[in-house]
Chains A and B, each alone.
Chain A
Amino acid sequence: MPSLGATYGRGAATLPQWDVANADAILIMGSNMAESHPIAYRFVLQAKQKGATVMHADPRFTRTSAMADLYAPVRAGSDIAFLGGIIRHILENDLWFREYALHYTNLATIIDERFRGADELDGVFSGWDEEGRRYVYDSWQYEGMTVPSSLAEHHVNTTESFNDETKRLSHAPVPQDLTLEHPNCVYRIMRRHYARYTPEMVERVTGCPADVFLKVCEALTRNSGRERTATICYAVGWTHHSTGVQIIRAAAIIQALLGNVGRPGGGILALRGHTSIQGSTDIPTLYNMLPGYLPMPHAYKPHDTLKDYLEIEETPTGWWSNFPKYAVSLFRAWYGDAATPGNDWGYDWLPRIVGDHSQLPLTLAVRDGIIKGLFVMGQNPVVGSSNAGMVRRGLANLEWMVVRDFTETETAAFWHHGDARPQDIATEVFLMPCTFAGEKAGSFTNTHRLVQWHDAVVEGPGDSRSELWFMHHLALRVKALYAGSTDPKDAPVRHLTWDYPVRGPKQEPDAEAVLKEINGYTWASDPAERRQIADFKDLKDDGSTACGCWIYCGAFPADDHNKTRDRTPDGPDGPGTHLNWAFAWPSNRRTLNNRASADPDGKPWSERKRLLWWDAEQERWTGHDEPDFPEEKPPHFEPDWDSKPTGMDAITGNDPFIMIADGKASLFVPSGLKDGPLPTHYEPLESPVPNPLYKQQGNPTAKRWEHDDNELHPIGDPAHPYVLTTYRLTEHHSGGAPTRSVPTTAELQPEGFAEIPPELAAELGITTLDWVVLETARGAIETRALVTERLRPFVIDGRRVHQIGMPWHYGWHGYATGDIANVLTACVGDPNTSMHENKALTCALRKGRLAR
């Protein structure tokens, strides 16, 4: 989640879910929370029963809307116009939380005089390289200093020497004008940038009536300030866009302006969709990161040697100055005794990435035969991946594929279903039964960074095995095959540490031993000599510590203490941070940036919203949560700039955003985001209308992956006039394999359907339960119609636009079936995350069935 990372310093939900119950207003947008996260919605209702105002902005009236005080209908893909309108409303009406935003954000910071905004350049920012389709970031920097990104990739391309430039952060405080008069301070830039996002413009772009929009603004601002806080909840309704990162950025700006971050009942709750999707981002099965948000070495970045890599990725000021400790400790954990200072701790054994190796280009590389062998573990891309028809056909170009799942998913069955001709498909396919939590032990990290252990209670059936078992025994086999090799390419396989103890007749690896390595220990060749490390402050860059993921340090703090298995909640008398229920990264902190819950003097903003405060007697931060701040740094600490301070020494006592180089929330992001320092409305790549706000139609940096098998519709395409949005239902999960295979969930939504507004249905002669055909340039599917007033036509820039919706859970396997919605979607993506745009595309619709 680069948006929250770039703005607040860490890409994760800022507050625990239960804290939503303390909110005075809740805006749910880009999320159908009641349906997709019903148990999290429990806290919304608890807040509501205490008087909170609940608002839902969404293209569809859903089960979430039915419980809201305000439902704001917005066209799919118009979110930045809506949120930009809120930012304008806050700034123009002077409704921002002055003491908070002035001190805790970069609102007063002065930006390079060469900067030109999208307001001046009709939708692009200064630094746009039309030929390269990318930005050069120099003009977005703070006046006189280059700010490294707080994201995994700290390094950004500038025309000057990056290292020399960033070192200036240690020379002086960032340039600020606290009077906000300077024409290039962030405040002035933002006012100019958002001036055109008026309520009338919001209505033109989003279709939401201006008066409804203003009610949302009013409720949000009225419930923010010293005494009150508001929470914003979002999910993939925001991320699944070619502008997804900037949508969330806009929300992050709103919350920082209103002073709602790091405080009880305030913040941004990212509602993620899989049980350990946060964990698999922290300990990334992702191409571009190493565990703990360290960047993967890149062939085309200055990452040639370990020295280069550490120097370029270390941020001189702020917490990320500890980067080398985390990197070296990781290499020690992976390569053990083979990692020495002489070989850069094995740095050179790591593979280099050469471009975007994320899911969408991965599926295209499978399609084009670049990838020969594919593992699929607990995922169902033939249902869940964009342009699913292309994905299914592409699998036939693999030499072999291993699918590990509990049932025959559509992915595993690609070679024998529908129009597939098995005799023509050479792919060797292994379908291996997996086990579930309950049959294997391990930890999941939930949507608010809470790492929770689950026990093995029973054995899985037959030959089912955990992925831990599979990876362990596969690694042992492959290492054995390479054992005698002297080829340098095989050195990493041979040197990789792999000494996990196994148990029982099935030889199941001990998951706690793996978690101990993730947590980190003092290094010793003999496992018996290793000592668990309780805090990442104790990690070193000299090879004396090994740590698989620095932010998980503290999850297994002592040899006999698996903190993720702690199960003691707070009682009814509070304080309600539940510090003894499992472990939250980092360092068991439940609310991120919680230094911001106190004013610049270290006092709570109000009694009602106490969380952390400076105890002058004890000379330390204290309160109900673990401080997300140096415990003994007083609120009035000022760096000694003459000494050219680095690291946390350059962060003042009232800079709560310690992961950012200047300690302040980045309303304006100078580095790290590929599509601009401020969120700007662009139309989805497939849109029925021209962009009403700028000449620039779509996100200029969006990823398109042009391919014969991946065509897009032109703007306003009369052949594909309707907006289509895809979504989840509460009764099913994701690619659907688990819920479609269980009778009690399958019967609740037993068949695929498309939701169609009555006005459009009448035009096309469609009634509920009719078969209808949906078609895009990528493919066509048939499904049943559900005509409902929950969808409504929009008037966008004077034109009536119809929008239809379709759940994407269905496939042909299981008790609940239906055509695959993702056959319609395209491989296009956000430039920062490569996240697809399945929430807003265009399509054709007719009554009838497909000829099959």
Chain B
Amino acid sequence: MTRRTIADRARGFLREWSIPRQIAGQSHRDEAARSSLSRDLRPRLEEADTVGTGICPYCAVGCAQRLYARDGRLIHVEGDPRSPINQGTLCPKGAATFGLLTSPQRLQHVLYRAPHADRWEVKPLDWAMDRIAALVKRTRDETFVRELPDGTRVNHTLGLASLGGATLDNEENYLIKKFFSGGLGMVWIENQARV
């Protein structure tokens, strides 16, 4: 990289300074006044190296979005103009999708609260998964009922429950229902459909 000479800098300064341009005939209210920031301005979407198709995470209208990212970081989220539903538009919640994904209030780590503790502690993800799996087995084994006293087959546990699903993917709902119901025998499985 070559060093900028004093003369280069002076030239740059003169180029940035409006007055010589005005004297050269440019209007002091438009071209002559244009700063380097203005001259080089571009929409930051142009910096994206990845664009994905997205669906708004809020209500059930199903507005399509485009997600722009560079180097694995989100740049922005906008309505997809091709969608026959939203045609590029978004409501105030959908328009804040970028703000949601980048919210300073997002959790980064697993927080754990031990019985009777008065604070959270940060725990490794693997530790939490192992602990939860062990609790699932313990509670299931303690509460599983094969048959009612009258001999009616039930094959279920009333000791485990799950809430949520309406904000999740179909594939996630499928695995929840398949594993919790078809595997563990849980019957308390509900989502926001009744809320």
Tell me how far the C-beta of B163 lies from the nearest C-beta in chain A, rounded to whole angstroms. Answer: 5
Prevailing SS type, chain B contact patch: mixed
Within 8 A of A (CB), among B26-46: none
Residues in B neighbouring A273, C-beta threshold 8 A: 59-60, 166, 192
Q: Is there contact, CB below 8 Å, between A457 and B50?
A: yes
Residues in B neighbouring A351, C-beta threshold 8 A: 154-157, 181, 185-187
Please report the C-alpha to C-alpha distance between residue A36 and residue B93 in the assembled complex, in whole angstroms: 10
Q: Is there contact, CB below 8 Å, between B174 and A518?
A: yes
Which residue of chain B is the closest to A35 with respect to CB atoms? Answer: B91
B86 at interface by CB-CB < 8 Å? yes
A91 at interface by CB-CB < 8 Å? no
How many chain A residues sit at the interface, stated as a range, is 35 or more
Q: Is there contact, CB below 8 Å, between A373 and B160?
A: yes
With A371-B159, A371-B188 already in contact, the answer to whether A286 and B168 are too (CB < 8 A) is no
A interface footprint on B94-134 (CB within 8 Å = 1, 0 otherwise): 11110111010111111111111111100011001111111
With A362-B188, A374-B161 already in contact, the answer to whether A744 and B156 are too (CB < 8 A) is no
With A287-B188, A462-B107, A567-B82 already in contact, the answer to whether A739 and B93 are too (CB < 8 A) is yes
Q: Is there contact, CB below 8 Å, between A39 and B82?
A: no
Residues in B neighbouring A835, C-beta threshold 8 A: 194
Please report the C-alpha to C-alpha distance between residue A359 and residue B182 in the assembled complex, in whole angstroms: 19
Q: How many A-B residue contacts, CB cutoff 8 Å?
A: 495
Residues in B neighbouring A831, C-beta threshold 8 A: none
Segment at the A interface, from B1-9, B12-20, B61-69:
B61-69
Q: Is there contact, CB below 8 Å, between A492 and B188?
A: no
Tell me how far the C-beta of B97 lies from the nearest C-beta in chain A, rounded to whole angstroms. Answer: 7
Q: Is there contact, CB below 8 Å, between B52 and A375?
A: no
Q: Is there contact, CB below 8 Å, between B61 and A446?
A: yes
Residues in A neighbouring B180, C-beta threshold 8 A: 375
Please report the C-alpha to C-alpha distance between residue A216 and residue B14 in the assembled complex, in whole angstroms: 71
Q: Is there contact, CB below 8 Å, between A36 and B191?
A: no
With A371-B188, A741-B100, A835-B194 already in contact, the answer to whether A733 and B170 are too (CB < 8 A) is no
A511 at interface by CB-CB < 8 Å? yes
Q: Is there contact, CB below 8 Å, between B165 and A285?
A: yes
Which residue of chain A is the closest to B184 with respect to CB atoms? Answer: A493
Tell me how far the C-beta of A444 lies from the nearest C-beta in chain B, rounded to whole angstroms. Answer: 5
Q: Is there contact, CB below 8 Å, between B59 and A428?
A: no
How many chain B residues sit at the interface, stated as a range, is 35 or more
Tell me how far the C-beta of A696 lies from the nearest C-beta in chain B, rounded to whole angstroms. Answer: 25
Q: Is there contact, CB below 8 Å, between A834 and B158?
A: no
B interface footprint on A472-489 (CB within 8 Å = 1, 0 otherwise): 111101110110000011
Among B77, B161, B170, B185, contact of A373 (Cβ-Cβ < 8 Å)? B161
Segment at the B interface, from A76-84, A99-107, A310-318, A433-441:
A433-441
Which residue of chain B is the closest to A402 with respect to CB atoms? Answer: B132
Tell me how far the C-beta of B28 lies from the nearest C-beta in chain A, rounded to whole angstroms. Answer: 36
Residues in B neighbouring A370, C-beta threshold 8 A: 158-159
Among B55, B110, B170, B191, contact of A552 (Cβ-Cβ < 8 Å)? B170
Q: Is there contact, CB below 8 Å, between A286 and B101?
A: no
Which residue of chain A is the closest to B172 with respect to CB atoms? Answer: A467
A interface footprint on B145-167 (CB within 8 Å = 1, 0 otherwise): 01010001111111111111111
A3 at interface by CB-CB < 8 Å? no
Q: Is there contact, CB below 8 Å, between A378 and B165?
A: yes
Please report the C-alpha to C-alpha distance between residue A518 and residue B112 in the assembled complex, in whole angstroms: 34
Q: Is there contact, CB below 8 Å, between B136 and A373?
A: yes
- Residue picked from B84, B132, B167, B190, most chain A C-beta under 10 Å: B167
With A284-B173, A365-B158, A744-B99 already in contact, the answer to whether A359 and B190 are too (CB < 8 A) is yes
A464 at interface by CB-CB < 8 Å? yes
Among B51, B130, B175, contact of A468 (Cβ-Cβ < 8 Å)? B175
Add 11 more A-B contacts to A40-B61, A370-B159, A446-B62 (CB < 8 A): A38-B91, A284-B173, A299-B153, A351-B185, A357-B190, A423-B116, A462-B109, A463-B125, A468-B172, A733-B59, A829-B194
User: What would be 10 A-B contacts, judged by CB atoms less than 8 Å apart?
Assistant: A276-B165, A287-B188, A348-B153, A357-B190, A377-B165, A402-B132, A424-B116, A438-B101, A454-B55, A492-B182
Q: Enumerate the 5 nearest inter-chain pairs by beta-carbon distance, A residue then B residue, closest first.
A: A446-B62, A442-B169, A462-B108, A285-B165, A455-B52
